[in-house]
Each structure stands twice: as structure tokens, then as C-alpha cells.
Amino acid sequence: MTNDLHEQALPRPLSRREREVLTLVATGLSNVAISDRLGVTENTIDTILRRTFIKLGVKNRITAVLKGIGAGLILPEEEA
């Protein structure tokens, strides 16, 4: 199944940037490391993650990653 089909099950689909940040979280990067990699501020990453948590209905990074994998938003090969 494509990610689009999995995302349809979510109340509000994630943006491309939200999926990108969630994938980087899944690799174990900190918000500082993600902001450095993407060339944005740490505050921007905090905001993106807050929106992502709301959309996924979760309260922390671990649950967001698990739900993202379960919904097909993060593919196993993207985690490594």
C-alpha cells in the first residue's frame, strides 16, 4: 500500500515536512540535530512535532514514531 492510502486513515494527513521530521525522529536524531540537518530553527522543529503529535493523537516521540510506522508514514528502510 502507498503512504497516501495509509494516511487516509488519519483524521488529518501529515504534510511532507511533518513526515520528513517524523522520519528523522525515528532515526534517533534530536530536535537540534534535525534543525541543523534541515536548516531551520529548533523552534520550527518543536512546532512541526507539536502539530504532528496532534494529528497523530499522541503525546510523545516514541508513540509518534510507532504510530507513524503503523500508519505506513515511516517505512522500515527509512529508519536505518
Question: Binning pLDDT at 50, 70 and 90, where does residue 79 land?
Answer: very low
pLDDT at 74: 87
C-alpha cell, 58: 499522541
Residue scoring higher pLDDT (11 or 3): 11
Domains of the chain: 3-79 (1.10.10.10)
Question: Binning pLDDT at 50, 70 and 90, where does residue 80 land?
Answer: very low
List, for residues 20-73, the tens digit of each pLDDT value.
Answer: 999 999 999 999 999 999 999 999 999 999 999 999 999 999 999 999 999 999
Q: 6-27 burial by CB neighbour count: b if 16+ within 10 A, else e?
A: ebeeeeebbeeebbbbbbbbbe
Please give the model's pTM, rounded to 2 decimal places.
0.81
